[in-house]
Amino acid sequence: MARLYVCPLSRVEEVVTTTGAEALVSLLSPPHGVWRPASIAAERHLALGVSDIVGAQDGQVLAQEAHVERLLAFLDRWERARPLVIHCYAGISRSPAAAFVSLCALTSRPEIEIAKNLRRLSPSATPNARLVALGDAVLARQGRMVAAIESIGRGVESSEGEVFCMELA
């Protein structure tokens, strides 16, 4: 069964090693250097340089549709035999949003079901609203993804999220 693991930057190497992951998605604000564990081949690592913001700010990189399209294209190439790890700096906003978009794209489950499962698995997750809205637009979900994430509300305050796993089945 294909699995997506979500984690903060500080736990990437541990999660990749313990899960046997074959693919990695990094969502970090420039100019963070992009680091990849040796066990992940370069072609199986997607680095998206986006800031954790929902509106334009000087000196920051606002997520665009092209970022979501790159994520979806990467997911199409993921063989799913081994796990995929998605991370951002804290594992609270960008990576849960990317995992939510990924599950919406890869499964036929209702958006609300995926969002409720995300909340159950990660009480601290506060998926980045900009990434969710872009995913909703690219996947033509007519606002269902946005509404689903809004329905679970903001996560509990935390400086770093815990590792969690979402299954595709």
pLDDT tens, position by position, 101-138 = 999 999 999 999 999 999 999 999 999 999 999 999 99
Residue whose structure tokens are 């998206």? 48
Per-residue pLDDT at 58: 92
CB-based contact 122:6 (threshold 8 Å): yes
Check if the beta carbon of residue 97 is closer than 8 Å to that of residue 131.
Answer: yes
pTM of the full predicted structure? 0.96
Whether the pLDDT of residue 169 is over 90: the answer is no
Query: What is the pLDDT at residue 35?
Result: 81
Res. 32: pLDDT tops 80: no
Distance of CA 9 to the CA centre of its chain: 12
Q: Is 90 exceeded by the pLDDT of residue 34?
A: no
Selection from 115, 134, 137 nearest residue 125 by Cα:
115
pLDDT computed for residue 30 by the predictor: 82
Q: Check whether 165 has a pLDDT greater than 80.
A: yes
Which domains are seen in the chain, by residue range?
3-159 (3.90.190.10)
Digit-coded pLDDT (tens) for 45-100? 999 999 999 999 998 999 999 999 999 999 999 999 999 999 999 999 999 999 99
What is the distance between the alpha carbons of residues 118 and 116, in angstroms, rounded to a whole number? 5
Is residue 1 very low, low, confident or very high in pLDDT (cuts 50, 70, 90)?
confident
Is the link from the previous residue into 30 a cis peptide, with omega within 30 of 0?
A: no
Distances (CA, A) of 130 to 8, 46, 109: 19, 19, 22
User: Is the predicted pLDDT of residue 31 greater than 90, yes or no?
Assistant: no
Q: Which of 23-32, 58-67, 156-165 has the lowest mean pLDDT?
A: 23-32
